[in-house]
Amino acid sequence: MQQVKPESKSDSVIVAENLTKKFGSFTAVDRISFDVKRGEIFGFLGANGAGKTTAMRMLSGLSIPTSGRGVVAGFDIGTETEMVKKNIGYMSQKFSLYDDLKVWENIELFGGIYGLKKTEIETKTDELMRALNFESERNKLVGELPLGFKQKLAFSVSIFHNPQVVFLDEPTGGVDPITRRQFWELIYDATSRGITVFVTTHYMDEAEYCDRVSIMVDGKIEALDTPAILKRQFNADSMDGVFQQLARKATRGDI
């Protein structure tokens, strides 16, 4: 039931204060407050229809809050949307690359959209291809790559412009645990470069990898802390146990 008050705002990359979104009489997100520190991996959990995606869309400037306030990367999400957009990366659950474009063309496109210079895009593409061991796939169409590859590439593209925060909406849906593990190594690598990661997931093993986790139930944040503290607090031996206890209280199903 605790709601963390943002204390030291200077080091917070995401601040939400009573963020609310209503669709008509339906309150999708109900006065949520939290803050996320720089370089943190913040897990955003909740059953389907709990309001995760709506909250994430408000934070990434896709949806205007009905009430409340949010600051992302130092910019107000209600009034400075354009600046917010420049400083964040976003990867949706339907990974967001073009199947009929080649690997390097996708990178070039998104680099161009974020205003990177051509030479910068070229050197960074080379680096990225080496780091991912993708050099032989460079000229392949994205549609021909296996799902795990696509997801890794989509993530790399979403942080290609070095954003302060990256929002990942269920990034690892549909792949095996080994590929998921590899994906998470990329996430750790990003945080080591100072990028803050805000991630929603359905997989409770992934929740264990997060620095802190919040669990949303029916539009409200019901729990927020490190996985270790949450497990102790709910007397569970895994995050799955914690989630089960909270999610059982939910009264809404899928939206």
112 counts as binding another protein under rule CB under 8 A: yes
Q: How far is the CB of 132 from another protein (least distance, A)?
A: 19
Q: Determine the size of the site formed for another protein (CB under 8 A).
A: 33
* DSSP 8-state symbol, 141: B
Stretch that binds another protein, among 99-107, 202-210, 216-224, 233-241 (CB under 8 A): 99-107
At what angle are helices 147-158 and 177-192 packed, to 10 degrees? 10
**Encoded amino acid at 156, one letter:** S
Exactly one of 110, 149, 155, 160 binds another protein (CB under 8 A); which one? 110
Stretch that binds another protein, among 87-95, 172-180, 183-191, 237-245 (CB under 8 A): 87-95
Q: How far is the CB of 112 from another protein (least distance, A)?
A: 3
Beta carbon nearer to another protein, 52 or 57: 57
Stretch that binds another protein, among 94-102, 192-200, 215-223, 227-235 (CB under 8 A): 94-102
Exactly one of 52, 57, 150, 152 binds another protein (CB under 8 A); which one? 57
Q: How far is the CB of 95 from another protein (least distance, A)?
A: 8
Beta carbon nearer to another protein, 152 or 231: 152
Q: Long-range contacts for 106-113 (Cβ within 8 Å, ≥24 apart)?
A: 106/142, 106/153, 106/157, 107/157, 107/160, 110/157, 110/160, 110/161, 111/160, 111/161
Distance CA 91, CA 199 (A): 10
Q: What is the CA radius of gyration of the chain?
A: 18
64 counts as binding another protein under rule CB under 8 A: yes
Beta carbon nearer to another protein, 28 or 239: 28
Q: How far is the CB of 35 from another protein (least distance, A)?
A: 21
Strand 165-169 to 67-72 pairing: unpaired
97 counts as binding another protein under rule CB under 8 A: yes
Q: Name the nearest CA neighbour of 102 among 52, 57, 157, 20.
A: 157
SS3 of residue 200 by DSSP: strand
What is the sign, positive or negative, of the torsion defined by CA atoms of 140, 94, 208, 180? negative
The residues pairing with 89 across neighbouring beta strands, listed in sequence order, are 166
Q: Name the nearest CA neighbour of 86 among 67, 100, 73.
A: 73
Stretch that binds another protein, among 92-100, 170-178, 186-194, 208-216 (CB under 8 A): 92-100
- For another protein, the binding residues (CB under 8 A) are 23, 57, 60-64, 82, 85-86, 88, 90-101, 105, 108-115, 141
